[in-house]
Structure 1
Amino acid sequence: MKERVVSGMRPTGQLHLGHYHGAIKNWVRMQHELDCLFFVADWHALTTHYDNPQQLAENTWDMIIDWLAAGVDPEKASIFIQSRVPEHAELHLLLSMVTPLAWLERVPTYKDQIEKLKDKDLTTYGFLGYPLLQAADVLVYRATQVPVGEDQAPHIEMMREIARRFNYFYGREPGFEEKVAAAVKKLSGKDGKRFVELRSQFQTTGSAEARTEALALIAAAGSLGAQDRERLQGHLDGTGRSILTEPATVLTETPKLPGLDGGKMSKSYGNTIMLREQPADVAAKVKKMPTDPARVRRTDAGNPENCPVWQFHKIYSDAPTREWVVKGCTTAGIGCIECKQPVIDGIVREITPMHERAMQYIAKPQLVREIAEAGSARARAVATETMREVREVMGIAAA
């Protein structure tokens, strides 16, 4: 019943500030509060780069090093590689038996990516089916939360629909009512009676408080096994047994950190600052950033909202500094080079410890591999239990 978070990234090599503020910073926070699993989505990388896998392994290790350098703690979160947990692929296959083709074709990013990657032949099942593989990545761990940006929210909603459809087909096990009654009897007399009352209240009035209290009774009952907990929750909600959990969409507040040219930060655009960037290179890159076009001369007044540097100030500068920037820019009291210095200082201050930690891991490649192997083993233990039940309800359990 513990809240669990699953998130992953395609291995593209070393990470930049956009990755950090868009995802990794949030991971570092969540690992102290929830059961977190973070994975390298190497199979997903092959859905668009199947013809050029040469850098895949190197990119994988570079990305894990940057996760560790940025503060993801392998003692608090499981860091693993997708392809080391074959249960992802097995669940993907089994889900493909019940997922309507139209569900995959309607995913907004499908046609969008085909349009953007015109130089690639993406008329493959791997590309069409990648949202289903994403669903398997999450559902195999019965994750309760998936942190995503708003553009990825439709993917999570599809995961929920797939889990719901699967549970509808396979959660109605023979003798369900009798097994529910037996599970209720395993509760103490007082708790069993209270659960029945709360279930009736929730079913008749839709009381969220009643459902929450009933779930708490299930969670606190040490006499119940995992399957009985699932049966009672399914009975509470008026469904069958919940084999796959419907994950909640957790929209992340992604700071608007543009690339150095004001567009989206991306290595393919050459407008990034990497987490391992040297201080001198940070300074050189920021000093070359474009500013408000209205400031042609030093004496011209400007508007910070028209300047990409201002977006960096929102993240790296404190309130007094931002006030100084607004006043200085709008009155031409400061020049653009002066305006950029606090940003340079803030970025260097943030990434210097990351760079130092990265160097430590680079010097110990075997340690990085051991971390990934240990994380993959922990992840596989969870996935194996899910797949045992999936196989059982689908009639393909081992004799």
Structure 2
Amino acid sequence: MRQTILTGDRPTGPLHLGHYVGSLRQRVELQELHDQTVLVADLQGLTDNGHNPAKISENILNVVADYLAVGIDPAKTTLCLQSALPALSELTLYYLNLVTVSRLERNPTVKNEIAQKGFERSLPAGFLTYPVSQAADITAFSATLVPVGDDQLPMIEQTNEIVRAFNRIVGAPVLTECQALLGKVSRLPGIDGQAKMSKSLGNGITLGASADEVQAAVMKMYTDPNHLRVKDPGQVAGNVVFSYLDAFCADEARVSELKAHYQRGGLGDVVLKRLLNDELQTLLAPIRARRAAYLADKGELVRVLQQGTDRARVVTGELVARVRRALGLALLV
């Protein structure tokens, strides 16, 4: 059965390998089986970049080029721009009345990101409420599946709370609940060993990184700090190189053998990093070339985004009209 899928990214910079593992390669497969929409979430990007909007606007086409370069087909997947869909902002306003500040503050994802960004009491109100914006995005397309990393599961939970609250209030199943769709590798650590690869932390490898940049990043990767000599036994747990080999090496048996060898000693970190570098260079070389070709014709990128946004505006407009009618706010519409 075909399902409706909504996914997307904030255009705060070019996409990286964490995005690729977490959802991009999954999206390429899903577009063959389901009705998929990919949202360039520029409004959400402003929630912690309101003081620097150029950071968002300048990266919108970079993100579109990344999507196309990895294999997202605009004939199969709707690519659209969040800020060009007025229904999303309207739904957000409605949903804000169904969520308390204390509930938003308890959201684990929001709490972790507030701590990571050091906001404390200087927290932008838009950032605190961005789970509500995500709920608007998801419900506007009546999405039934949402590809996410495991750190985003609280967002799905909060979306479904809003759906149930709204449907209960209006006495009808106007909104649709959704399910999270986790990939094989739901989260990729940063090259520095941090829990998550992040554009804001600068610990990632972008899809457009040059061959030299990829190699340099791999050679800086966190391994086992106690593995001082090749002959010493090494730890696999927490070793970023092995995390990446698990994610990108198709030969699982070979990776298992490397782990066993490393744990008993006799396998150096440099050897592992060279193997990983080869895997990443093979993956990224064609993506890098396609990305550069797309960025050479930005007019075509705008056309693709406009075409998808036009389709999405119809879908989201129909949903928000049903919401207005359910709330009794359709008198002059």
| TM-score, normalisation: structure 1 | 0.76
Where does residue 243 of structure 1 map in the other structure?
174
Q: Deviations over 1:274-329 (max 9, x none)?
A: 21122233223323334333332334343444632222222333145325523543
1:241-320 matches, cutoff 5 A: 241-255=172-186, 257-263=188-194, 264-305=196-237, 307-317=239-249, 318-320=251-253
Aligned residues of 2:24 and 2:70 also touching (Cα < 8 A): yes
Using the TM superposition, give the Cα deviation of residue 163 of structure 1 relative to its aligned residue in structure 2, in angstroms.
1.6
The whole-number CA distance in structure 2 between the counterparts of 1:295 and 1:57 is: 44
336, 348, 352: which one aligns with 2:285: 352
Using the TM superposition, give the Cα deviation of residue 106 of structure 1 relative to its aligned residue in structure 2, in angstroms.
3.2
Where does residue 318 of structure 2 map in the other structure?
385
1:148-227 matches, cutoff 5 A: 148-171=148-171
Using the TM superposition, give the Cα deviation of residue 137 of structure 1 relative to its aligned residue in structure 2, in angstroms.
0.9
Aligned residues of 1:327 and 1:333 also touching (Cα < 8 A): no
> Could you list the runs of 5+ residues in structure 1 that have no partner in the other structure?
172-240
The whole-number CA distance in structure 1 between the counterparts of 2:238 and 2:114 is: 32
Using the TM superposition, give the Cα deviation of residue 132 of structure 1 relative to its aligned residue in structure 2, in angstroms.
1.4
C-alpha distance 334-44 of structure 1, shift in aligned 2 (>3 A): same
The whole-number CA distance in structure 2 between the counterparts of 1:44 and 1:293 is: 38
The whole-number CA distance in structure 1 between the counterparts of 2:156 and 2:25 is: 21
The answer to whether residue 269 in structure 2 is matched with residue 340 in structure 1 is no
Helix, strand or coil: the match of 1:269?
coil
The whole-number CA distance in structure 1 between the counterparts of 2:45 and 2:121 is: 14
The whole-number CA distance in structure 2 between the counterparts of 1:118 and 1:334 is: 40
The whole-number CA distance in structure 2 between the counterparts of 1:245 and 1:74 is: 25
Aligned length: 330
1:248 maps to a residue whose letter is: Q
1:350 maps to a residue whose letter is: L
C-alpha distance 12-291 of structure 1, shift in aligned 2 (>3 A): same
> Could you list the runs of 5+ residues in structure 2 that have no partner in the other structure?
none
Name whichever of 245-254 and 272-281 sits farther off: 245-254
The whole-number CA distance in structure 2 between the counterparts of 1:327 and 1:105 is: 43
1:126 maps to a residue whose letter is: G
| TM-score, normalisation: structure 2 | 0.90
Q: Percent identity?
A: 36
The answer to whether residue 76 in structure 2 is matched with residue 76 in structure 1 is yes
Where does residue 114 of structure 2 map in the other structure?
114
Where does residue 65 of structure 1 map in the other structure?
65
The whole-number CA distance in structure 1 between the counterparts of 2:77 and 2:88 is: 19
The whole-number CA distance in structure 2 between the counterparts of 1:290 and 1:132 is: 36
Q: Deviations over 1:328-368 (max 9, x none)?
A: 43454443322222211110111111111101101110110
The whole-number CA distance in structure 2 between the counterparts of 1:67 and 1:50 is: 25
C-alpha distance 266-125 of structure 1, shift in aligned 2 (>3 A): closer
User: Quick check: which has more Rg, 1 or 2?
Assistant: 1
The whole-number CA distance in structure 2 between the counterparts of 1:164 and 1:309 is: 43
C-alpha distance 379-305 of structure 1, shift in aligned 2 (>3 A): same
Q: Deviations over 1:204-235 (max 9, x none)?
A: xxxxxxxxxxxxxxxxxxxxxxxxxxxxxxxx
Helix, strand or coil: the match of 1:55?
helix
Aligned residues of 2:148 and 2:186 also touching (Cα < 8 A): no
Where does residue 255 of structure 2 map in the other structure?
322
C-alpha distance 71-169 of structure 1, shift in aligned 2 (>3 A): same
The whole-number CA distance in structure 2 between the counterparts of 1:271 and 1:151 is: 18
Helix, strand or coil: the match of 1:6?
strand
1:132-147 matches, cutoff 5 A: 132-147=132-147
Aligned residues of 2:49 and 2:55 also touching (Cα < 8 A): no
362, 371, 376: which one aligns with 2:309: 376
Q: Deviations over 1:107-159 (max 9, x none)?
A: 23334333333357644432332221111111111111222223322222222
C-alpha distance 376-328 of structure 1, shift in aligned 2 (>3 A): same
The whole-number CA distance in structure 1 between the counterparts of 2:239 and 2:322 is: 55
